[in-house]
Structure 1
């Protein structure tokens, strides 16, 4: 049996992915037509009415209800298809990355404290990670994963004076890293590798404003410290910038966003636009366009333009 070429591997994987998505959509729709209220077959026959101990009965009821203490934070998505305008750099690794890949993001938060300082501030801990998956190459490696834990507090603002109203102020402490080792002094085939380790500790503040169905988020961010704290990427703020503005517009069932960030001194930054539309339950069509620097930490100083399409599971 002949070994599949890279192009054949791509076609097979893409076909299987489309087949899976079609079958999943068809089965979901069929199930919804049959009954939108069918109980969970794995738990539906469990009887708790006869349980005498109140604490035990309450625990079983909560288990049956499937409660989940975490909430969605940023958009949770799976983008099976993303097309970039150039191949991604291998950064000294003996691999060849393609310009077509998948991406996924998981982002959750947990409320820790309510009414902080008596000012109705709400304190959260959050965790997000975004992975870039070379799904259509032969071994389908994960090219890059960025990990982003943070803690933040949100203070609501009572503002009814102007047409554009301030709704909240957010203050956060965050860390972002790609979890890779320091490879500054590593050589591959006699050539020195680029340092794979990328990380940044930073603080940021966001003012959220509203005008009817338009939400505006203005963010200012600053790295913590210099020197060793930014030794993996000392010039990262030249590309990420210190300021960011994001518009979120609600039009009927659709949500459109437009984000821009940059550093006026270096004239570098990025723009991102997204569109989402509900398909069924909490599954949404999700389309994303990105152009600029900082799509991921490993590529923070590479200019990339990319179009992606898939599904989001929060908005």
Structure 2
């Protein structure tokens, strides 16, 4: 078997470099059958008070002679709990440009890369290569206090000395094929998207936005909040499966308006939305304009749990494609129209389609690790009905390291902010608050 190409991390960089280097660990994982490239698992805990150095070991055990091009930089993505991936560039220490080496069978070459980890990434940090087919690694980032001793590394393969025998290299042989690790795919196509990591990485995950906001409209202080999760019923043997059962989800969303200005501060209205739906985040459709297309379709029930004159309920069948334009890890545009048909009797709100319509047009422009402006537009069948609900959000961790989630400002105008008032035009409402997921 061919000897793998190892990456080892040794404390020699600035604190931020740790995740970058670790990221590079993943970057150099096996992507081509010809290249012996793999990642050596870093220590479980990384001391952020120490600099970090990444060492790449390029070796050749199969070909009599093989040329490699060492890139001046490698790109990785690092993320933490509830924090979107951050793209980080690691720079080769021993040269600024691309360097070609030729290895004969049994020879190897050590190469070092360095980078910086943003201070806002804390706790368990996930590091994933970009452009290289390698599994991500998880490390616990430790930042010792001023009166605490630095973290002592435990015994790992990272601390084992690398033999120098056979480390000689020869000039580039024109006849040898050249392999460049990490250049077999475009970064924008292989970078882990925030949606994949944060909202679809586990069996139980985020669904729709989760937030708590407070505002004052017409001397009426009020709060608006929403909880939303989804649960994957079956985990397939093959993650690429597009089968019905393999991608079937149970969803639950709860939305409330809280009247803070009234005596005893009652809840003005609460709606409950269980759902059963089929969901594929990526249909494999992409070109020079469209970067990703996903689909969700299924059944949804919504009711406010009240009786008598204030009782509201509705059942729908919906189809919602999601189309992304641009690099998913940079500023990009998202279009997600949700079309729905009302099912069965609607005794409590027979004319809901006249005010709510049959389509929610969701638009968003932003960056996972930056600003995002998102808006949901509804147009009722009746003239001059409908609503606009807009949110502007920004990652809190970029302002206060160690935190997660988003600062959010929202604006609502139109009919039916809650199910109870679907046929009433609301006063324009501005609120600010916090979002767990946007």
Same fold (TM over 0.5): yes
1:254 offset after TM fit, Å? 1.2
After superposition, residues 1-315 of structure 1 pair within 5 angstroms as 37=142, 70-79=204-213, 81-84=214-217, 99-114=220-235, 119-120=242-243, 122-155=247-280, 156-161=282-287, 163-164=289-290, 167-181=293-307, 183=308, 195-212=309-326, 213-225=332-344, 229-251=345-367, 253-280=370-397, 281-304=403-426, 305-315=428-438
Cα distance change on mapping 1:291 and 1:149 into 2, 3 Å: same
Give the match for residue 95 of structure 1: none
- Kindly indicate which of the two structures has a greater share of residues assigned to helix: 1
* Structure 1 vs Structure 2 CA RMSD: 2.6
Q: Return the index of the structure with the highest Cα Rg.
A: 2
Partner Cα distance (2:240, 2:284) in 1:
17
Q: What secondary structure does 2:310 align onto?
A: coil
Residue by residue, what CA displacement relative to the aligned partner does 1:196-228 show, whole Å, maximum 9, x if unpaired? 100101111011111111111011111002xxx
Q: What secondary structure does 2:284 align onto?
A: coil
- TM-score where L is the length of structure 2: 0.48
Residue by residue, what CA displacement relative to the aligned partner does 1:96-140 show, whole Å, maximum 9, x if unpaired? xx7320121111111113569953552110111111111233311
Residue by residue, what CA displacement relative to the aligned partner does 1:36-88 show, whole Å, maximum 9, x if unpaired? 859xxxxxxxxxxxxxxxxxxxxxxxxxxxxx952111111111x22335xxx
Cα distance change on mapping 1:166 and 1:70 into 2, 3 Å: closer
Q: How many residues align?
A: 225
Q: Is the 8 A contact 2:271 2:418 kept in 1?
A: yes
- TM-score where L is the length of structure 1: 0.65
Q: Is the 8 A contact 1:209 1:216 kept in 2?
A: yes
- Structure 2: segments with no counterpart, 5+ residues: 1-121, 123-140, 144-201, 327-331, 398-402
Q: Is the 8 A contact 2:355 2:381 kept in 1?
A: no
Q: Is the 8 A contact 1:114 1:120 kept in 2?
A: no
1:313 offset after TM fit, Å? 1.0
Cα distance change on mapping 1:263 and 1:143 into 2, 3 Å: closer
Residue by residue, what CA displacement relative to the aligned partner does 1:250-290 show, whole Å, maximum 9, x if unpaired? 14511110221113453421111101111133231111111
- Structure 1: segments with no counterpart, 5+ residues: 1-31, 39-67, 86-97, 184-194
